[in-house]
Amino acid sequence: MSPAQGAQEAERRLGIPCFHVGQRVSGLFGCVACQFQIRNRKGLPTCPQCGEIIWGYLEDGPRPVPEGEEAVQVPDPAAGQQPVSVEEGVDLGGGAPEVVVEEGVKLE
Ligand SMILES: [Zn+2]
């Protein structure tokens, strides 16, 4: 598994933005293996405590974009030739699905 795949996998598992060693992102990060926390400013290191290479982003707010990388844009196949608009703060889900409770339903 490549570091990028490892970061994606950890991100799916933990539900927070994850990055791997060498990516230049700043902020507060926690080792996904031992929770060791660092305040990062340049390229992410390997964890000084356990050697892990994947870090979770611990701050609130939008996902930071590593220096030298483009923001991830999901192509919309239905967009056709329309210009792409960028929206910030879009909720990509992850919350609990809405549950509809009906009362007075009789099960015969
Ligand atoms: Zn660690």
Collect residues with CB below 5 Å from ion ligand 1.
Answer: 31, 33-34, 36, 47, 49-50, 52
Q: What is the pLDDT of residue 104?
A: 76
Residue-wise pLDDT for 11-59, tens only, equals 999 999 999 999 999 999 999 999 999 999 999 999 999 999 999 999 9
Task: Say what percent of the chain tops pLDDT 70.
Answer: 69
One-character DSSP codes across 8-62: HHHHHHHSS-EEETT-B--EEEEETTT--EEEE-SB----TTT---EEEE-SSSS
Task: Say what percent of the chain tops pLDDT 90.
Answer: 59
Between 76 and 65, the more confident residue is: 65
Is the pLDDT at 81 greater than 60? The verdict is: no
What is the CA(15)–ligand 1 centre distance, in A? 18
pTM of the model: 0.65
